[in-house]
Amino acid sequence: MRRTLARWLLAGSFLFHVGCYNTETLSKDQLRATQDHDITVKTNGALRYMFSKHQYSIVGDSLSGVGVQIIDVWPGEDRFKGSIPLSNIASIRNDEFNSRETIFIVAGSLFVLMFVGGALVASGLSVHH
């Protein structure tokens, strides 16, 4: 029974995470047009950087700004201030919080939990074993 409950909670957590953010790949031209996005930049050498909106700009043929470099060892990130040549950028992602989808996911998860809880009560089983 605990495994079933744990599976439902894991599924709900996954759906909540998926529903919270929309990921969009931006072109370099879109990036030139506006800096109103929080972005994650991946270079051709597989380095990753995160910049908050209005903390970066296109200067000449480079992306310049203040952000963090994401690294795979502890502490996980390092402050970054500098430039990345546009020719060295493999991809630019924008992850935006989506409140509408998040509300639907939370409401759906609560409904499922109430349904599972009601089924447990109806069958005479207890969550506390």
Q: Could you tell me how far CA 101 lies from the centroid of its own chain?
A: 14
The total of structural domains in the chain comes to: 1
| pLDDT at position 89 | 93
Residue 128 included in any domain: no
Looking at residue 79, which CATH number applies to its domain? 2.30.30.100
- Please give the structure tokens belonging to residue 78: 């390092």
What's the CA gap between 96 and 102, in Å, rounded? 12
Do the beta carbons of residue 112 and residue 12 sit within 8 Å? yes
> What stretches of the chain show up as alpha helix (H) in DSSP?
2-20, 28-33, 99-122
Residue 59 included in any domain: yes
Residue 52 included in any domain: yes
Stated length of the chain = 129
Range from 2-16, 39-53, 62-76, 100-114 that averages highest in pLDDT: 39-53
Residue 21 included in any domain: yes
Query: Torsion over CA of 85, 86, 90 and 94, rounded to 10 degrees?
Result: 110
Residue 127 included in any domain: no
What's the CA gap between 83 and 62, in Å, rounded? 6
Residue 129 included in any domain: no
- pLDDT tens-digit profile of 34-50? 788 889 999 998 899 99
- pLDDT tens-digit profile of 60-70? 899 999 999 99
Q: What is the extent of the structural domain holding 17? A: 2-122
pLDDT for 127 beyond 60: no
